[in-house]
Amino acid sequence: MPEKEVKEKNIVTNRKAFRDYEILERREVGIELRGTEVKSLRAGKVNLSDSYASVEHGEVILFNLHISPYEMAGHESHDPLRPRRLLLHKREIRRLLAATAEKGLTLVPVRIYFRGPYVKIELATARGRKMYDKREVAARKEADRAMERAVRQKSKRKRDE
């Protein structure tokens, strides 16, 4: 019997992480949510630009993930910045602990998405970029864009002739 294709719906992507960090390895993890947090996520009321994860007491905790309170909830709202537990196997937690023990590596959420009915986070092991690295990457991207533009114009001129 063929396997069902599970739909993925992207909620938010952490574009700041791609600029500030060099992404080394990515993995999919679950997240423990309470009450109206899922409804707020479905509405897209989430900000993960300053969030990070760390291993504490054998658990991976996500900090600074801002999920806005659900507007229709009334008095049952949640704390927008509470630390949230990420769901991983013990083996994966040990691997992440070893990776973050290495100097300069950190755990950064790259994107949040729905996989079927479940909320998943793509967690990346990353190394922070220095200011000169950021400038170098920006200059390289700009040079690539200029090259692409020149090639496009050249091919357009040949077509017109």
> Which residues neighbour 58 within 8 Å (Cβ) at sequence distance 6 or greater?
90, 93
Q: Say if residue 121 is in the same domain as residue 74.
A: yes
pLDDT tens sequence across 31-81 = 999 888 888 898 889 999 889 999 999 999 999 999 988 888 777 778 889
CB of 119 closer than 8 Å to CB of 33: yes
| pTM for this entry | 0.77
Q: Say if residue 75 is in the same domain as residue 148.
A: no
With residue 113 as reference, give the H or E element that holds it: strand 105-115
Token pair of 42 as six digits: 């479905």
Q: Say if residue 143 is in the same domain as residue 95.
A: no
Residue 59: domain span: 8-129
Q: Say if residue 124 is in the same domain as residue 137.
A: no
pLDDT tens sequence across 8-32 = 888 899 888 888 888 999 999 999 9
